[in-house]
Homo-oligomer: A and B are copies of this chain.
């Protein structure tokens, strides 16, 4: 590249963009770690985007109607940090940039949601940002339909690299966005032709332009170092009614000795080369030194949206008090005040009527209560609507022609669905939930982890949660998936035993502000075990005594979900032979772990033998089979020891020995 020509063609632009490049070089050099090349390559695109297009106000980073900027190529985090600092975000100081990638810094190696304002989502695992952005754009469409253009009318911009486009989840996102005609979604592809291993060509020759067009996107191709071309393309992208991809031909590590090489992808720390690059840039300033005229120009950009923000505030004030309160409520992730009473009423009703239904059906019964009073929910399924029971009767289908629809046909895209749901939560104003078979936790897993890491309350409705799925066989029978979700920090895994616990689990999931929930629900029918109505949400304690021993307490049976009924039947057998048996339902291990030790000891006292029963592997159960520290009980487990099989559910339970008789036998053997 002829750097001198770039400098002289647009000197003002050049200096602003070069501030990003210089800060990136300095921060990576200080950390001796990081990715220099991407921010250096995309500095021009980002500068034009922030200067002329992005609707934002650095002083009001939480403004609901701001444009969203998502850095899907999260390894280029210094691009984002530089932009936030330069435009004057209060909590992104020069000191923060100096502490890039250090303990306690906001400026983590990859952008971490919650670390600083302006970081709209956590990225780094490639493809996630693109897939989140589909959710952001859906949220904007839904809220615009609900509140009108005066209050909600903004764009979602995402920068993605070759890695993002190679990840499969990007295809799910692109095709879903195309199908939904998300016209306010604009993707800027950093087409630099370089990955870590070398040129993109080593692994991929996909014609991305044709690929995006095949999914209904509007596509432009530009020189990503030409400010006028960037500006014109963004203008055109905003005009078109399709989702828009701008292929920005760029040079990774522009102006550095490592330009256009895979070395440029990584940490450029050589002092001489760094100086040479800065010399070429016409940037004689020391580390982290941004001259005041350049900083002022950037800060003016950061204030450019102040008037937009003020106008929006004025429009908000014009709206009804009710509407103002509603917007405040949904963006604060508060549930409606009446939710609690409605859930209690449902619990009371079902504890009296005692239906025998699958908990996936229970979940639908709860959704019939929730959805009419929570207009912020958006439901959906990865092409298993009838099986996941995720669509309540009041929900119409979200579509180009019906943006008030609150049900999304995500297609056979579990991963894209999970990532899009995360995007909706992050956008704010929406409480999404989506369903698939629990076994396909595997497909959704990268986004489920990020929900936990980002501390956002996405709700994953996972039905057909054991061998109870039956004939579809081992590929579709989750065995280890409860363990997988339980092993993930900051995740509530609910496995309710009946409709009452299902209602309680939903109440907790919706009241959660910082923890995602996995609802593990059955295909097969289950009896109502909570026959005595209790207003209190017992599931909130994680585990509780469902039925206590009659006579001397000799055994405690621990169970979740569909196996609680088996434990209750085992208790009948044992009590008949005079063995006093307590049954503890454990719908949520994580919440039980959060209780104080005295409650845990009351539920699981020392002394009696313990048998746990769950139609899944034992992994993790030892935590509960043995007592609190320093105490020990004899414990045994009834459950799965290997993958499942294809047969009717009842046959499988029998063949795998997950029966009341087997549980009773284990207790007798331990005594």
Using a CB–CB distance below 8 Å, which chain A residues touch chain B? Answer: 31, 33-34, 74, 101-105, 108-110, 112, 122-127, 162-164, 166-172, 175-176, 178-179, 195-198, 202-211, 213-216, 381, 383-387, 397, 409-413, 415-416, 439-440, 442-443, 445-446, 449-450, 452-453, 470-476, 479-480, 483-484, 486-490, 617, 619-620, 622-623, 626, 629-630, 632, 634, 636, 641-643, 645-648, 651-652, 655
Q: Which residue of B lies closest to A203 (CB)?
A: B411
Q: Mind listing 24 A-B residue pairs with CB under 8 Å?
A: A109-B471, A112-B473, A112-B474, A124-B473, A124-B475, A126-B412, A171-B171, A179-B204, A196-B384, A196-B387, A197-B383, A202-B409, A203-B412, A443-B446, A445-B445, A452-B643, A480-B487, A480-B489, A483-B484, A483-B620, A490-B643, A622-B622, A629-B634, A629-B636
Please determine whether B197 and A206 come into contact, CB atoms closer than 8 angstroms.
no
Please determine whether A103 and B645 come into contact, CB atoms closer than 8 angstroms.
yes
Please determine whether A110 and B168 come into contact, CB atoms closer than 8 angstroms.
no
**A437 to nearest B CB, angstroms?**
9
Please determine whether B175 and A108 come into contact, CB atoms closer than 8 angstroms.
no
From B123, B385, B484, B486, contact of A197 by CB (8 A): B385
Chain B residues in 8 Å Cβ range of A489: 479-480, 617, 641-643
Chain B residues in 8 Å Cβ range of A471: 31, 33-34, 101, 109
- Separation of A195 and B176 alpha carbons in the complex (Å): 15
Chain B residues in 8 Å Cβ range of A31: 471
Chain B residues in 8 Å Cβ range of A170: 168, 171
Chain B residues in 8 Å Cβ range of A446: 440, 442-443
Q: A101-B648, A122-B475, A127-B168 are in contact. List 13 more A-B contacts (CB 8 A).
A: A102-B648, A105-B646, A105-B647, A171-B171, A179-B205, A195-B411, A196-B384, A196-B386, A203-B383, A483-B483, A483-B487, A489-B642, A619-B623
Q: Which residue of B lies closest to A476 (CB)?
A: B124
Chain B residues in 8 Å Cβ range of A207: 214-215
- Separation of A446 and B112 alpha carbons in the complex (Å): 26
Q: How many copies does the complex hold?
A: 2
Q: Which residue of B lies closest to A207 (CB)?
A: B214
Chain B residues in 8 Å Cβ range of A126: 412
Please determine whether A109 and B473 come into contact, CB atoms closer than 8 angstroms.
yes
Chain B residues in 8 Å Cβ range of A124: 472-473, 475-476
Chain B residues in 8 Å Cβ range of A198: 409
- Separation of A381 and B198 alpha carbons in the complex (Å): 12
- Separation of A168 and B471 alpha carbons in the complex (Å): 26
Please determine whether A476 and B110 come into contact, CB atoms closer than 8 angstroms.
yes
**A313 to nearest B CB, angstroms?**
35
Please determine whether B450 and A475 come into contact, CB atoms closer than 8 angstroms.
yes
**A528 to nearest B CB, angstroms?**
26
* The 5 residue pairs across chains A and B that have the minimum distance between CB atoms: A168-B168, A203-B411, A171-B171, A632-B632, A108-B646
From B412, B449, B472, B647, contact of A103 by CB (8 A): B647
Please determine whether B197 and A381 come into contact, CB atoms closer than 8 angstroms.
yes
Please determine whether B216 and A383 come into contact, CB atoms closer than 8 angstroms.
no
Please determine whether A626 and B622 come into contact, CB atoms closer than 8 angstroms.
yes
From B33, B210, B623, contact of A622 by CB (8 A): B623
Q: Which residue of B lies closest to A107 (CB)?
A: B646
Please determine whether A168 and B634 come into contact, CB atoms closer than 8 angstroms.
no
Chain B residues in 8 Å Cβ range of A479: 489
Chain B residues in 8 Å Cβ range of A166: 172, 175, 383, 411-413
- Separation of A269 and B576 alpha carbons in the complex (Å): 43
**A488 to nearest B CB, angstroms?**
5
Please determine whether A101 and B632 come into contact, CB atoms closer than 8 angstroms.
no
Chain B residues in 8 Å Cβ range of A415: 168
